[in-house]
């Protein structure tokens, strides 16, 4: 019976991974996630990566491989997954909309470089974020930093899109925020079906962007050729 249940659980896990399922609008982070320092995390991950490479048959005495476990561990903690730590949350600089700009502001083609939480393979694409001021405006670079922060986690694209919108809404004090992400998932492109052409598009519309005309205007801006 145990073997049957174990097999069924393994099959369910595989199915979730293959079907791009998100189980929550929040990242599944444990309560004790930050009880140890980044340095200790790097040390622990380094040993785990070393064990993985040895199991795969790699010779870690080779000059090219000696530093790989440490490099991977540092990249995980300091770069690829730095968005898990709340201390890295960017402080959005907002200002009063003194010039009374009342139209839509759209920032296109923000680079998304994230990691699929099912296979730990890259998600690479572009985010397009827009808002209509309710009295506050936000520094343009902060929009990029918000996208980067939530991208730098083991992620699911649907959740990432929602988190970007929610963070912008909180910073600006308005529901009138939208985000569209178009990205390639290497878990689809480089393994499994190995479809190198497909990409995934997700969207989240808040406030006025739920209205047909406003949403249409936003999507039309995305069609503009802004290459310089």
Residues carrying an active site annotation: 116-119, 157, 185, 187
DSSP-assigned states of every residue in 97-128? -TT---SEEEEEEEEEEEEETTT--EEEEEEE
d(CA 64, CA 69): 11
> Tokens for 25?
């609008």
Helix 157-172 × helix 140-151 angle, to 10°: 140
CA distance 217 to 215: 5
């Amino acid at each position: 019976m145990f073997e049957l249940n174990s097999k069924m659980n393994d099959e369910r896990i595989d199915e979730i991974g293959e079907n791009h399922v998100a189980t929550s609008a929040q990242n599944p982070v444990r309560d004790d996630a930050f009880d140890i320092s980044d340095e200790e995390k790097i040390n622990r991950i380094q040993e785990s990566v070393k064990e993985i490479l040895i199991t795969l048959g790699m010779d870690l005495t080779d000059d090219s491989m000696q530093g790989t476990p440490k490099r991977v561990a540092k990249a995980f903690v300091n770069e690829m997954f730095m968005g898990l730590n709340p201390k890295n949350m960017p402080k959005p600089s907002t200002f009063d909309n003194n010039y009374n700009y009342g139209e839509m502001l759209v920032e296109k083609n923000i680079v998304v470089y994230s990691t699929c939480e099912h296979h730990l393979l890259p998600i690479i694409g572009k985010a397009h974020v827009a808002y209509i001021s309710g009295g506050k405006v936000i520094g343009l670079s902060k929009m990029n930093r918000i996208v980067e922060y939530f991208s730098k986690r083991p992620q699911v694209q649907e959740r990432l899109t929602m988190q970007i919108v929610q963070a912008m809404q909180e910073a600006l004090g308005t529901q009138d925020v939208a985000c569209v992400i178009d990205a390639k998932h290497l878990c689809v492109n480089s393994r499994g079906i190995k479809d190198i052409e497909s990409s995934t598009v997700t969207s989240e519309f808040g406030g006025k962007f739920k209205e047909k005309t406003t949403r249409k205007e936003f999507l039309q801006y995305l069609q503009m050729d802004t290459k310089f």
